[in-house]
Each structure stands twice: as C-alpha cells, then as structure tokens.
Amino acid sequence: MMREAVQRVRRLRNPGSVWRLRRYAFDLRERSPSGAGMAAPGADLVEVNQADLDEMRASCPELTDRKYEQLRERIGAPDITAYLIRDADGTWAGYCHLAYRRFDDRYLNHVVRLRRRQALFVDDAVFRTHRRRGLHTFSVQRRRELARERGMRTGLVVINDKNTASIASYRHVGIRPVRRLYFVRPFRVMIQLPWRRA
C-alpha cells in the first residue's frame, strides 16, 4: 500500500503526469450556417441504432470493441444521445455525443452536472482516414442545431489544452473558458478551479 503510494508520488515528476484542460461554454441560440454552408457539405449525423452501428463496426477497423459496446449501450439512453458521423460519400467517419442533466466521465474520473438548458458536447472522434475535412467542425455545428431544437441554450465542452484540432473546431461556435481543470493521472483525480483571467 505504502509502496504503491510512493510510486504514484514519484510518477508525478514524469512529464505529462498532469493534464491541463478547460471547460468552455458557448451560446446555442446563434444560428450555424445551414446545409451547404456547414463545414462538410453532404455529411450527416445519424442517431445511433443497431443496424448502422453494426455497419460501422464492419467497415471501420478504428472502432474498438470497447467503443462499440459503449455506443450500443447508449442506444435509446435518456441522458445521452450518441450520433454516428456519416461522410458525404456515405461512409462512416466517427461519432460524437450530446449529454443532458449529468455525465459521468469515467475517462477523466469526474461528474459533469448540467443545468436544465445546458447540453454537454462530449466523446467526439473522427477516424484517421476522415480527418482534416471539416467533419468535426460539422459535428459541432450540427449538434448545436440539434441541442437548440431540444430547447437547450448553453453548450459546454471539456478540451485538453493540447488538443489544437478540437479547440479550433469549437472556436467556430464562440467558446469561452469557464473553468480550469487539472487531471492528476497517477492518482486519477480531477481538480477543478474557476476560470480567472490572468
């Protein structure tokens, strides 16, 4: 026990032992460009369902068994909606989510509690072969519309400071930082601080 604790403390000295992240908020009421004006014309978000998920599994080696199971568990879930990203040519390109009320983030070991009109944009990925074509930016724009249609007013997202691509996608919808987060990896602890301008 003691030895394990000492090892963990030692691991704190390793570079990358603390991840720096930010929680951002953004307004959902502003309209995104629609149709052809979206970042990836012809692309679509399809609410997760067994048939399309199985097709994605058969055609996308990057979809791990763990992620397949997680997406399958989310079919029809009340507080989280999973979407499969379909590229303009009809191929499956990734997935993304909108969460409501409460999201238990097991990866970053913290719980995000959402107010009545807040939606969390979470668990986004575009498969490598489909990257850098605007699909993630499209998924953010389209989810913004979908959340707004559900009566939501504010979007929230947590992004690692090193994730340039994700920050760039969300910048298009006017994110502003609201909280600093530090994930202490050896202890799997998330420390949250209010955002203060330097």
Ligand X SMILES: CC(C)(COP(=O)(O)OP(=O)(O)OC[C@H]1O[C@@H](n2cnc3c(N)ncnc32)[C@H](O)[C@@H]1OP(=O)(O)O)[C@@H](O)C(=O)NCCC(=O)NCCS
Which residues form the interface with ligand X (CB under 6 A)?
39, 124-126, 131-137, 159, 163-166, 168-169
Q: What are phi and psi of 138, to 5 degrees?
A: -60, -45
Reported residue count of the chain is 198
> Which is nearer to ligand X, 153 or 172 (by Cβ)?
172
Query: In angstroms, what is the minimal distance from the CB of 107 to ligand X?
Result: 10
For the bound state, the minimum distance from the C-beta of residue 10 to ligand X, rounded and expressed in Å, comes to 29
The nearest distance, CB 99 to ligand X, in angstroms, is 13
Q: Which two tokens stand for residue 111?
A: 């719980």
Q: Side chain identity at 161, as an amino acid letter? A: D
Whose CA is closest to 169, among 21, 26, 19, 18? Answer: 26
Question: CA–CA separation, 161 vs 151, rounded Å?
Answer: 30
* Smaller CB separation from ligand X, 107 or 198: 107
Question: Which residue's CB is nearer to ligand X, number 50 or number 164?
Answer: 164
Residue pair 85/45 in contact by the 8 Å Cβ criterion: yes
CB of 90 to ligand X, least distance (A): 17
Q: Two tokens at 57? A: 């599994």
Question: Containing H/E element for 181?
Answer: strand 176-184
Q: How far is the CB of 134 from ligand X (least distance, A)?
A: 5
Query: Two tokens at 63?
Result: 């979809």
Single out the residue of 80, 99, 91 nearest to residue 40, CA to CA: 91
Nearer to ligand X, 10 or 176 (CB): 176
Q: 22 or 148: whose CB is closer to ligand X? A: 22
